[in-house]
Copies of this chain bind each other. A is one copy, B any other.
Amino acid sequence: MKLVIKVTGKFFDDQGDKTPLSSAIRSLVQEGHRVALVTGGGTTARKYISLGRSLNLNEASLDLLGIWVARLNAFLMALSMPDLAYSRIPESLEQFLEYWGHGKVVVVGGFQPGQSTAAVSALVAEAISADYLVMVTTVEGVFDSDPKKNPNAKFLPRVTTTELKSILENTQSVKAGTYELLDPMAMKIVERSRIKVIVTSVDKIGKLTRIIKGEETASIVEPV
């Protein structure tokens, strides 16, 4: 199978061990899957965006700073799998496709201002006709409202893009670094190419191979 795994930048915030991610990818590759990994920027991105804001940078430049930090996280992961991963981090989808053609794991930070890492991962998934886009986030899956704000939010094992859109509506913003789950662009790509999306949490990185097989609880977003 062809898999795109998108990991929240918050995964890189603390000094905790990052080997579960490399190990999970290694297992997937050993099982015969092809894997693209997309990393977010996390707190370091927000720190640099804030430094940029105090330097009066425009929105495009702030986004670029966030993209560079996401690429730094991508580079860290690529270095941790020198035998499996392409050593360069692509700066555009065309570059991604060139690297992907090498048969290796390709690790991506971001491509361009104005889009979230979710959109990046959707673009990547569409371009390679991926079987699944796995979003590894800070919460267990999709809820009927933001679980970070509402402790009573209800976990949804299965949700259509239409349902998800109505849940996310009004909670999305395009200010740099503030997108959430699936921004409108990611949503449109997912819908037009009917990409199957799995949402799970960083705590379950060690169980990625099981999640892919549907042996572990996670939310599935179905494009309609």
A residues neighboring B (CB under 8 Å): 12, 15, 17-19, 22, 44, 47-48, 50-52, 54-61, 64-65, 68-69, 72, 75-76, 79-80, 82, 86-88, 91-94, 97-98, 100-102, 104, 111-115, 119, 123, 126-127, 129, 174-175, 184-185, 188-189, 192-193
Contacts and interface: CB of A to CB of B under 8 A. Distances in A.
Contacts of A58: 126-127, 129, 193
A61 B113 CA distance: 21
A80 B54 CA distance: 10
The 10 closest A-B pairs by CB, nearest first: A60-B127, A92-B92, A55-B80, A61-B79, A87-B97, A174-B188, A60-B126, A59-B193, A87-B98, A87-B101
Q: How many copies does the complex hold?
A: 6
A68 B72 contact: yes
Contacts of A175: 192
Contacts of A69: 72
Contact of A51 (B15, B101, B188): B15
B22 A55 contact: yes
Given A12-B51, A60-B126, 6 more contacts: A48-B72, A55-B79, A59-B126, A112-B123, A114-B126, A175-B192
Contacts of A64: 75, 79, 94
A75 B65 contact: yes
Contacts of A44: 44
A102 B94 CA distance: 17
A169 B35 CA distance: 37
Contact of A60 (B86, B93, B102, B111): B93
A91 B80 CA distance: 21
B98 A80 contact: no
Contacts of A97: 87
Contact of A188 (B80, B87, B88, B114): B114
